[in-house]
Structure 1
Amino acid sequence: MNTITLRHSWSKWQKIYVLNGTPPATQWVGLEHMSDKAISKETQQAEKDASGPRSVMRILGLFEALARATDGLSLADLSIELGAPKSSLLTLLRPLVAESYLSHGKSRYRLGPRIFRMSADILAAHKIRTLIEPYVEQLAERTHETVYFAVLGSSEPVAVAIEVINSAQALLYNLRVGMTFPLYQTAAGNVLLAYQDKESQESYLRSIKAEKLKVDEFSPRVPLSPSELRQRLSDIRKTGISISIGQWTPHSGALAAPVFNADGSLAGALAIAGPADRLQSNLEQLTTVLKNIAAAASGQ
């Protein structure tokens, strides 16, 4: 608990300063109502509250209360609104302010920039899902394989499946909405990385270790180094298709193609996934169907 507490023992009152990376919050506590033992007990309870399931609901409650308050809320307001002790709320508020999920100024808490970015990402993903759904359905009907649409993660560099239709065949590649995939090791991830700017690509390549780029015995074409991955990304931009056989999971594979927004920016990657041997035996046909539907989804 990163709290610095300064206590001045006066005859009747005690002043407690809590340092949380923002201007110190001030609480006045009557000594006749709160002994040192009681203070310690309340602090322990606050820490316990912040680490249990109740804290999750309180955090959600904080967000909801602040979303309704155009001018923010004070600690006292939040305590009344949520029916929670101020000490417990402060334990939750400090890290939320530090991580920019909330802001704190003039003794009032407000929603922070990270919450607004998250909200924008959620709304954008919902809109994309609505727009891409008929094309995912069409691709599933044409290929009879598992198909999905993936976007770049908002908080970390991964591919996130936001729309999935699993194959009805007995042998299939099973996915679910919300699954994440590494960018360097999957067909959809390669597409998402290929259409990032050079600076973002290089930053990502520096963040992964070369030994992660392993070759699977089933697919000797998997990049073994950052330089080979750079060439792969360049090829994807030229051909408009990414093929990954045995690269992430042995004996399975995927194909992915980019889908673009009206302004030419990348919306996400439309992909087909299935058993490696089945994909390889129909690779030319699947590639054609995938590129055509991805182009239609892009309005081309």
Structure 2
Amino acid sequence: MADQLTAAGKTLAVLGTFTRERPSQSLSQIAKRTGLALSTTHRIVSELAAWGALERTADGDWHIGLRLWEVGSVCPRGQILREAALPFMQDLYEATHENIQLAVREGTEMVFVERIAGHRSVELRTMVGLRFPLLGTAMGMVLLAYAPSEIRDAVLAGPMDRHTPHTVTDARTLRSMLAQVRRATF
């Protein structure tokens, strides 16, 4: 499959090997995870490093560089929403001193675009830019409840992995809960 990718596809495959769980890795690990030849991986990693998208650590591993953060930080969808919501998030934080988070739905996942950590709350395990399944949190359930019906149907038809002891994994129960969320008024 890797040999059928375009140059852009191979580059994106290399970048896609980096995750929060795996923020740094060796060249051979990147090659293994992409299925690309080591020489091809070396060439792509070298080009990404020259541009600033990847940086080398003292022990020789690679991690995402600041240039990608710069590019990602201008994403208009997250930036516009963040700028509009941040004053209200700050007001809510000042009133409660609790964790305040903002996420957007992307397909069947949500992406956190801003957060304020409360000092009287449990420690947040989320980070700006983190993707998370909609079924894993109350916020995700609200986003799913108001998602287009084809998104709800996709989640209900797919595997529903348990993320916490309270994650609902039964389609009938979940459908009922989502309808209840849509009926609720605050």
Q: TM class, shorter-chain normalised?
A: 0.5 to 0.7
SS at match of 2:75: helix
Question: What is the CA deviation profile of residues 195-247 of structure 1, one whole-angstrom value per residue up to 9, with x for unaligned ones?
Answer: 112222111221224xx35883xx6xx6351111011111111114xxxxxxx
Larger relative strand fraction: 1
The aligned amino acid for 1:179 is L
Write the distance in 2 (CA, Å) between the matches of 1:151 and 1:60. 30
Query: Which has more radius of gyration?
Result: 1
Q: 1:228 to 1:166 in 2, by over 3 A?
A: same
SS at match of 1:2: helix
Q: 1:61 to 1:131 in 2, by over 3 A?
A: farther
Pairs aligned (count) = 135
Question: What is the CA deviation profile of residues 128-175 of structure 1, one whole-angstrom value per residue up to 9, with x for unaligned ones?
Answer: 11111111111111111111001013xx52111111000123x52323
* Aligned residues of 2:144 and 2:178 also touching (Cα < 8 A): yes
Q: 1:151 to 1:215 in 2, by over 3 A?
A: closer
SS at match of 1:148: strand
Structure 1-normalised TM-score? Answer: 0.39
Q: 1:206 to 1:150 in 2, by over 3 A?
A: same
The aligned amino acid for 2:183 is K
Question: What is the CA deviation profile of residues 69-102 of structure 1, one whole-angstrom value per residue up to 9, with x for unaligned ones?
Answer: xxxxxxxxxxxxxxxxxxxxxxxxxxxxxxxxxx
- 1:185 pairs, out of 116, 130, 136, with 136
Superposition deviation, residue 57 in structure 1: 5.8
Write the distance in 2 (CA, Å) between the matches of 1:215 and 1:123. 32
* Aligned residues of 2:136 and 2:164 also touching (Cα < 8 A): no
Provide the aligned C-alpha RMSD in A: 3.3
SS at match of 1:173: coil
- 1:223 pairs, out of 148, 158, 168, with 168
The aligned amino acid for 2:122 is L
> 5+ unaligned residues in a row in structure 1: which ranges?
4-18, 21-45, 63-118, 241-290, 292-300
Q: 1:47 to 1:133 in 2, by over 3 A?
A: same
SS at match of 2:78: helix
Which residue number in structure 2 is paired with residue 67 of structure 1? none
Which residue number in structure 2 is paired with residue 51 of structure 1? 41
Larger relative helix fraction: 2
- 1:148 pairs, out of 101, 112, 124, with 101
Write the distance in 1 (CA, Å) between the matches of 2:149 and 2:134. 15
Q: 1:56 to 1:123 in 2, by over 3 A?
A: farther
- 2:122 pairs, out of 164, 172, 175, with 172
Structure 2-normalised TM-score? Answer: 0.59
Q: 1:215 to 1:57 in 2, by over 3 A?
A: closer
Write the distance in 2 (CA, Å) between the matches of 1:203 and 1:2. 31
- 4+ residue stretches of structure 1 with deviation over 6 A? none
SS at match of 2:122: coil
* Aligned residues of 1:214 and 1:224 also touching (Cα < 8 A): no
Q: 1:60 to 1:227 in 2, by over 3 A?
A: farther
Write the distance in 1 (CA, Å) between the matches of 2:131 and 2:88. 21
Identity of aligned residues (%): 25
Q: 1:56 to 1:162 in 2, by over 3 A?
A: farther
Which residue number in structure 2 is paired with residue 71 of structure 1? none
Which residue number in structure 1 is paired with residue 85 of structure 2? 132
Write the distance in 1 (CA, Å) between the matches of 2:173 and 2:99. 28
SS at match of 2:103: strand
SS at match of 1:151: strand
> 5+ unaligned residues in a row in structure 2: which ranges?
7-35, 52-71
Write the distance in 1 (CA, Å) between the matches of 2:76 and 2:46. 22
* Aligned residues of 1:184 and 1:229 also touching (Cα < 8 A): no
